[in-house]
């Protein structure tokens, strides 16, 4: 992951997020990008594709209540 960000790339990310920033805010945000990049590097461990998924869920009693049948198509 690069530790700095080009103006065009930052503009793309901000547009995608729907954030309308001033030039001063963009300039300030660029200065902390290396901090975010360093954090992202720290959580990117060599764990492989079969490592536990981040988001799993279990069906609990509340998901299997009597109303489930009524709502089912």
Partner 1 sequence: MTDTIPTIAEAARLIAAKRLSPVELTRACLDRVHALDGRLHAFVHLTEGRALAEARLAEAAIMAGGPKGPMHGIPIGLKDIVDTKGIPTTCGSKILEDNVPDADATCAELLAAAGTVLIGKTTTHEFADGGPSFDLPRLPARNPWNTDHFTAGSSSGTGAGIAAGLILGGIGTDTGGSIRGPAALCGIAGIKPTYGLVSRAGVAPAAFSLDHIGPMAWTAEDCALMLQVLAGHDPRDPASADWPVPDYTAGLGSGIKGMKIGVIHHFHEVDYKVSDGVRRGIDAAIATLRGLGAEIREVQLSPLQDWGACGSLISITERAAAYDEWARTRLGDFSERVQRRLMLGALVSGVDYVQAVRRRRELRAELKAAMAGLDVVLTASQTGEAPNLNEVPVWDTFAAPSFTMPFNVAGYPAITVCAGFGAGGLPVAIQLVGRPFEEPGLLRVADAFEKATDFRNARPNLAAAALPA
Nearer to partner 1, 43 or 66 (CB): 43
In whole angstroms, how close is the CB of 40 to partner 1 at the nearest point? Answer: 4
Binding site for partner 1 (CB under 8 A): 5, 13-14, 16-21, 25, 28-29, 32-33, 35-36, 38-40, 42-45, 47, 51-55, 62
In whole angstroms, how close is the CB of 17 to partner 1 at the nearest point? Answer: 4
How far is 16 from 32, CA to CA, in rounded Å? 19
How far does the chain reach from its first CA to its final CA, in angstroms? 46
Query: Two tokens at 50?
Result: 């079969």
**Of 24, 22, 29, nearest in space to 9 by CA:** 29
């Amino acid at each position: 992951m690069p530790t700095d960000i080009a103006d065009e790339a930052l503009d793309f990310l901000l547009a995608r997020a729907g954030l309308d920033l001033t030039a001063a805010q963009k300039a300030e945000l660029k200065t902390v990008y290396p901090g975010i990049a360093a954090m992202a590097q720290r959580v990117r461990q060599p764990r492989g594709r079969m490592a536990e998924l981040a988001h799993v869920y279990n069906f609990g009693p509340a998901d299997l209540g009597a109303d489930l049948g009524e709502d089912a198509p």
